[in-house]
């Protein structure tokens, strides 16, 4: 097995086990026997690097243009002419069923026990065994979140003449979650002392358990919702009995307490709340106490193209790059006002909210007029400006020109809108010397794909986009992708404790469960906006917890799974043209051009549906999508279909 550059460098440091340099000095394993491979740390580490490279995280800063998955739901929109939304999503979305990797991990564990004992330092050997068990648990976690219960196979099996002798029925969904928790618990002693952000440690194992137990506890808590949607199979292959909820939720809280004891904390190194939150995702792993486990990039051996794909068009240096995932108004609206903790939509109009057409170039609507482009977002949760590049804001100390066009008063109380009609006119076409559409958009054109690489929503992405000069080309960014971080852990804890309080479980570890939920969520909100942003006991409810996950974890690949386990995805994203929750909205800023008028140079905003086709702005999720179409063509007669097929 000869490892390529990506695999050889995927783990930039293995910390206590070997030095960073030793980890990167991989052996060429081609031609070596299993006994030879498993007789050295270098051989085992090379195999481990291969396994890590095949772990499924869905988001990958090195190889995938994330605009596709980032734009599937209601966080952002693709910047193409026909913005890619989810109305064509089906039951195979994110299908994952990797028994090849399971078998190889089972074989790896067997070989460690067979060949390495007596040849490898015992502490190292116990680490390798524990590491492999947690990796295998992670693979099963990925499979159970997509498929429900799957056959649980932990032994190496040889291929017989009759493959049906190996056929196994699906385990219960609960049994897979039980396996994950048990594997983590069994692995923890062997992981003691390992210090790494890119390789399995006690922290990474506990974070997996924390997330998995919240998922399982939520499914049990929502047993009745699942039943109403016909999602519980009688066999238990999908659905978890309500009676299991308390046990899973308490295991989630156990993992949180253990993670806290290990010393993980929120990133808090900058007194500016917005900048501090931004830095929590761009700081190096070694300097980030919040980061538990990540995919690390050095920009050289392991390249990171995220910044190249998503930097504002005005700062892109590579042709046909930048601006490829555009945050949408749906997300922006969910950042609260700090004062009063009010959850109110962005206010573009006087009186009733209006939804305009992108094809209208005149209007008689009564707009709210703002002195500066950014004033409409004033007073919002500081995480908004750290996550989204807003009109009127800067990036890398340069002004980002998000201007859809000019609003020219027509003399009758209305406006005529002048804007660029092609990408070639952007930043060039003008009205009496005043540029029409800003270099960064937003833009709506009729000339096909040439309006890619520019905002289509009025917003651009800031989170994960590297502010370091030079990181916008050649995959040079070093921003890590967080698989697990302490901020998520605290939100998991808040939700788990809240569910326990709703179940009538008054206390956990001597603490009132509702008070505990409030404590955990306020740690997140305090970091986000200070003491005044903390909520009171009377403000705590499930909607608040859901929204906190929405804004704190934006673009970290939680939204889709959260909506599924809450059993609300089909209601919230039900395909209906005028659905306020399934329709994707944009907000375009226009600069008023009225020389000599009191409003000259001020700003108005227009809310519109995204995309060029009416139905393309509407998301679609139905009951077949809670679980993937189960792969029944593998010849296993014991496998049953998933619900609603």
Give the lowest-confidence range in 4-8, 121-125, 214-218: 4-8
- Are the C-beta atoms of residues 14 and 45 closer than 8 Å to each other? yes
Name the β-bridge partners of 170. Answer: none
Stretch 297-322: mean pLDDT: 92
Ramachandran quadrant class, 245 (left: phi over 0; alpha: psi -120 to 50; beta: rest)? alpha
Q: How far is CA 609 from CA 74, 364, 606, in A?
A: 12, 18, 10
Give the start-to-end residue ranges of the domains of the chain. 5-57+90-267, 313-473+578-617
Could you give the angle at the alpha carbon of 289 between the alpha carbons of 283 and 291, nearest 5°?
70
Q: What is the pTM of this model?
A: 0.93
Band (pLDDT 50/70/90 cuts) for residue 193 is very high
- What the block records as the tokens of 342 is 């009010």
For residue 446, is pLDDT > 60? no
Those residues with Cβ within 8 angstroms of residue 572's Cβ, 6 or more apart along the chain or in another chain: 563, 581, 582, 621
Give the lowest-confidence range in 322-336, 513-527, 610-624: 610-624
Q: Which residue has the tokens 């939700």?
A: 495
Per residue in 457-477, pLDDT (tens digit) is 999 999 999 999 999 999 999
Stretch 155-176: mean pLDDT: 84
- Are the C-beta atoms of residues 441 and 433 closer than 8 Å to each other? no
For residue 403, is pLDDT > 80? yes
Per residue in 515-560, pLDDT (tens digit) is 999 999 999 999 999 999 999 999 999 999 999 999 999 999 999 9
Average pLDDT, the chain: 90
Stretch 166-184: mean pLDDT: 95
- Are the C-beta atoms of residues 585 and 607 closer than 8 Å to each other? yes
Per residue in 35-71, pLDDT (tens digit) is 999 999 999 999 999 999 999 988 778 765 554 566 6
Stretch 314-335: mean pLDDT: 92
Residue 377, pLDDT score: 98
Q: How far is CA 213 from CA 188, 203, 411, 565, 644, in A?
A: 16, 15, 62, 12, 25
Band (pLDDT 50/70/90 cuts) for residue 320 is confident
Q: What element of type H or E holds 308?
A: helix 306-310
Residue 32, pLDDT score: 84
Stretch 486-500: mean pLDDT: 98
For residue 302, is pLDDT > 80? yes
Band (pLDDT 50/70/90 cuts) for residue 166 is confident
Per residue in 207-243, pLDDT (tens digit) is 999 999 999 999 999 999 999 999 999 999 999 999 9
For residue 72, is pLDDT > 90? no
Band (pLDDT 50/70/90 cuts) for residue 23 is very low
Stretch 15-21: mean pLDDT: 39
Give the lowest-confidence range in 193-197, 441-445, 593-597: 441-445
Exposure string of 58-71, with b = 16+ CB inside 10 Å and e = fewer, is: ebbbbeebbbebbb
Q: What percent of the chain has pLDDT over 90?
A: 79
Band (pLDDT 50/70/90 cuts) for residue 632 is confident
Band (pLDDT 50/70/90 cuts) for residue 11 is very low
Q: Which CATH topology does 5-57+90-267 take?
A: 1.25.40
Residue 2, pLDDT score: 32
Peptide bond into 191 cis (omega under 30): no
For residue 614, is pLDDT > 50? no
Beta strands in 64-210 (DSSP E): 76-78
For residue 422, is pLDDT > 90? no
Count of residues in the chain = 645
Per residue in 243-272, pLDDT (tens digit) is 999 999 999 999 999 999 999 999 999 999
């Amino acid at each position: 097995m000869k490892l390529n550059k990506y695999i050889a460098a995927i783990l930039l440091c293995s910390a206590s086990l070997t030095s960073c340099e030793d980890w990167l000095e991989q052996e060429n394993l081609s031609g070596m026997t299993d006994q030879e491979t498993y007789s050295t740390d270098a051989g085992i580490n090379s195999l481990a690097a291969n396994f890590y490279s095949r772990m499924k995280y869905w988001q990958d800063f090195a190889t995938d243009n994330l605009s596709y998955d980032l734009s599937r739901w209601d966080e952002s929109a693709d910047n193409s002419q026909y913005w890619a939304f989810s109305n064509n999503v089906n039951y195979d979305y994110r299908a994952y069923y990797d028994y090849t990797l399971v078998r190889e991990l089972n074989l790896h564990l067997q070989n460690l026990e067979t060949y390495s004992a007596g040849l490898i330092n015992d502490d190292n050997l116990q680490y390798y065994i524990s590491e492999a068990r947690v990796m295998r648990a992670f693979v099963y976690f990925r499979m159970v979140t997509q498929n429900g219960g799957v056959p649980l196979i932990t032994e190496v099996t040889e291929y017989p003449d009759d493959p049906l002798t190996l056929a196994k029925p699906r385990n219960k969904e609960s049994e897979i979650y039980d396996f994950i928790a048990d594997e983590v618990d069994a692995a923890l002693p062997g992981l003691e002392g390992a210090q790494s952000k890119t390789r399995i440690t006690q922290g990474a194992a506990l974070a997996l358990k924390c997330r998995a137990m919240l998922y399982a506890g939520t499914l049990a808590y929502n047993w009745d919702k699942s039943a109403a949607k016909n999602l519980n199979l009688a066999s238990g292959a999908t659905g978890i009995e309500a009676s299991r909820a308390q046990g899973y939720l308490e295991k989630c809280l156990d993992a949180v307490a253990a993670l806290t004891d290990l010393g993980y904390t929120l990133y808090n190194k900058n007194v500016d709340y917005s900048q501090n939150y931004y830095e929590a995702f761009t700081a190096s792993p070694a300097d980030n106490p919040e980061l538990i486990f990540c995919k690390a990039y050095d920009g050289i051996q392991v390249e990171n193209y995220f910044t190249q794909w998503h930097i504002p068009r005005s700062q892109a240096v590579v042709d046909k790059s930048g601006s490829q995932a555009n945050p949408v108004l749906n997300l922006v609206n969910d950042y609260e006002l700090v004062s009063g903790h009010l959850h109110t939509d962005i206010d573009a109009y006087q009186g009733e909210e209006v939804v305009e057409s992108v094809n209208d170039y005149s209007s008689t609507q009564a707009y709210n007029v703002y002195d500066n482009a950014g004033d409409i977002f004033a007073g919002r949760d500081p995480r908004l400006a750290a996550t989204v590049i807003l009109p009127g804001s800067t990036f890398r100390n340069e002004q980002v020109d998000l201007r859809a066009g000019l609003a020219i008063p027509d003399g009758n109380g209305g406006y005529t809108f002048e804007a660029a009609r092609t990408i070639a006119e952007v930043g060039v076409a003008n009205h009496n010397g005043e540029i029409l559409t800003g270099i960064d958009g937003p833009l709506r054109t009729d000339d096909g794909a040439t309006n890619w690489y520019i905002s289509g929503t009025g917003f651009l992405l800031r989170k994960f986009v590297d502010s370091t000069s030079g990181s916008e080309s050649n995959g040079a960014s070093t921003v890590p992708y967080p698989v697990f971080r302490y901020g998520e852990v605290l939100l998991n804890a808040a939700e788990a404790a809240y569910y326990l309080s709703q179940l009538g479980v008054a206390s956990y570890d001597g603490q009132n469960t509702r008070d505990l939920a409030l404590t955990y969520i306020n740690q997140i909100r305090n970091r986000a906006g200070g003491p005044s942003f903390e909520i009171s006991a009377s403000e705590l409810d499930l909607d608040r917890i859901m929204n906190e996950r929405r804004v704190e974890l934006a673009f970290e690949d939680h939204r889709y799974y959260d909506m599924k386990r809450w059993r609300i995805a089909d209601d919230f994203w039900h395909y209906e043209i005028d659905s306020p929750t399934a329709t994707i909205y944009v907000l375009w800023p226009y600069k008023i051009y009225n020389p000599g008028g009191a409003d000259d140079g001020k700003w108005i905003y227009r809310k519109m549906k995204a995309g060029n086709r009416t139905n393309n702005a509407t998301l679609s999720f139905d009951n077949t999508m809670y679980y993937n179409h189960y792969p029944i063509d593998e010849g296993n007669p014991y496998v049953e279909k998933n619900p609603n097929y």
